[in-house]
């Protein structure tokens, strides 16, 4: 198991491991929290961390889907029109997460890059199984393509799965493709036999194999995980635009990212695979708190600037 750098985490490694084990047991076996209860808890915590000031947050719609529109406030001489736009698909095991839980990440990215970030409030499992979320997110993406500004797809964890699947749907249907793709710790392979599930690297993880199988089941509800729209790593990647891929060697989903990087290289996709040695899953959600999250925002911004011809921040 990788050792956490002392400069980042002044916490004993054993304490972190035991805390995660107890947390999983308490959540799953004692309280028996439902996805709905987890949603409420996470949204409650998220209200305490609204993200950066000086960034506009508007609740509006993309197509028929309620979405947050987030952008840095322009000066009198600047024009919001012409911004690169990012469709950010929040993670949360397909069953939780919201515009609030990912607001800090979105505001940090908007402030750093000047992009316009959109956060859709898509339908969650198990109430709305595959492919409901995909259909809604594709509607959001198509609505954004009605103007000429560059569009990026972005997601973390299960949200990265959905973002990649939306890209594959756009390729299949001959739609306008995004300028690029940002995948943070992607859950890109929902098969029970995936390398991540086989390794079950759960020492520093709030979830383990049983959780992954449960939430994949909530989402798929009988649909095959072999479908490339369920496990995007099963699809051809040769038509993918530039990809920024980021993961930690210590997190449960490390192997998903490693396998995706291998395929991107084999299929000659322009990509960057940035690795944190020992960060905990979801670190990017705390850009004003964690130094590794600050690094992530910096590298995402650099990649966006390089491939979207954005002005340097």
Q: DSSP assignment of 252-278, as one string?
A: TTHHHHHHHHHHHHHTT--EEEEEESS
Number of H helices, E strands in the chain: 9, 8
Torsion sign (Cα): 212, 216, 217, 218: positive
What values do phi and psi take at 116, rounded to 5?
A: -105, 115
Return the exposure string of 128-153: e unless at least 16 CB atoms fall within 10 Å of the residue's CB, then b.
bbbbebbebbbbbbbbbbeeebbbbb
The span from the CA of 127 to the CA of 6, in Å, is: 42
Q: Show the CA angle centred on residue 269, arms to residues 263 and 270, nearest 5°.
A: 130
Rg of the chain, C-alpha, whole Å: 18
**pLDDT of the residue at 8:** 47
Task: Tell me the CB-side half-sphere exposure of residue 86, using CA atoms within 13 A.
Answer: 31
**pLDDT of the residue at 14:** 60
Quote the CATH superfamily of domain 13-75+84-308. Answer: Alpha/Beta hydrolase fold, catalytic domain (3.40.50.1820)
Q: Show the CA angle centred on residue 127, arms to residues 91 and 49, nearest 5°.
A: 35
Q: Show the CA angle centred on residue 298, arms to residues 190 and 79, nearest 5°.
A: 105
CB-based contact 152:85 (threshold 8 Å):
yes
**pLDDT of the residue at 89:** 98
**pLDDT of the residue at 313:** 44
Residue 187's closest CA among 243, 259, 269?
259
6, burial (CB in 10 Å: exposed 0-12, middle 13-18, buried 19+): exposed
Query: Who's near 17: CB < 8 A, 6+ residues apart?
Result: 1, 203, 204
**pLDDT of the residue at 58:** 95
Return the exposure string of 283-313: e unless at least 16 CB atoms fall within 10 Å of the residue's CB, then b.
bbbbbeebebbbbbbeebbbbbbebbebeee
Residue 183's closest CA among 107, 111, 131, 261?
261
Q: How many C-beta atoms lie closer than 10 Å to residue 247's C-beta?
A: 25
Domain ranges of the chain: 13-75+84-308
pLDDT (tens digit, 0 to 9) for every residue of the chain, 313 residues total? 555 555 445 556 665 665 656 566 656 665 667 888 888 888 888 888 888 888 999 999 999 999 999 999 765 445 455 689 999 999 999 999 999 999 999 999 999 999 999 999 999 999 999 999 999 999 999 999 999 899 999 999 999 999 999 999 999 999 999 999 999 999 999 999 999 999 877 777 777 888 899 999 999 999 999 999 999 999 999 999 999 999 999 899 999 999 999 999 999 999 999 999 888 899 999 999 999 999 999 999 999 999 976 444 4
pLDDT (tens digit per residue) in 111-158: 999 999 999 999 999 999 999 999 999 999 999 999 989 999 999 999
């Amino acid at each position: 198991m990788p050792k956490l750098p002392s400069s980042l985490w002044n916490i004993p490694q054993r304490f972190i491991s035991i805390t995660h084990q107890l947390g999983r047991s308490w959540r799953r076996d004692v309280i028996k929290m439902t996805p709905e209860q987890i949603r409420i808890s996470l949204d409650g915590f998220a209200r305490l961390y609204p993200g950066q000031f000086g960034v506009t947050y508007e609740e509006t719609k993309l197509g028929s889907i309620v979405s947050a529109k987030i952008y840095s406030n322009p000066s009198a001489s600047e024009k919001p029109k012409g911004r690169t736009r990012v469709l950010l698909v929040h993670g949360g095991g397909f069953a939780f997460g919201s515009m609030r839980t990912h607001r800090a990440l979105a505001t940090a990215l908007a402030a750093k890059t000047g992009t316009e970030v959109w956060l859709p409030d898509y339908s969650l499992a198990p109430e709305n199984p595959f492919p409901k979320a995909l259909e809604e997110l594709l509607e959001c993406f198509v609505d954004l393509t009605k103007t000429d500004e560059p569009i990026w797809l972005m997601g973390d964890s299960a949200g990265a799965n959905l973002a990649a699947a939306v890209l594959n749907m756009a390729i299949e249907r001959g739609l306008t493709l995004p300028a690029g793709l940002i995948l943070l710790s992607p859950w890109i392979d929902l098969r029970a036999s995936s390398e991540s599930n086989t390794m079950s690297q759960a020492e520093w993880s709030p979830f383990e194999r049983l959780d992954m199988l449960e939430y994949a089941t909530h989402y798929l509800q009988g649909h095959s995980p072999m479908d490339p729209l369920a496990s995007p790593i099963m699809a051809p990647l040769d038509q993918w635009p530039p990809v920024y891929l980021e993961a930690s060697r210590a997190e449960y989903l490390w192997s998903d990212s490693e396998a995706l990087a291998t395929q991107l290289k084999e299929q000659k996709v322009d990509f960057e695979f940035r690795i944190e040695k020992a960060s905990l899953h979801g670190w990017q959600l705390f850009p004003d708190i964690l130094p590794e999250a600050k690094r992530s925002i910096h590298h995402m911004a650099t990649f966006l600037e390089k491939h979207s011809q954005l002005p340097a921040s």
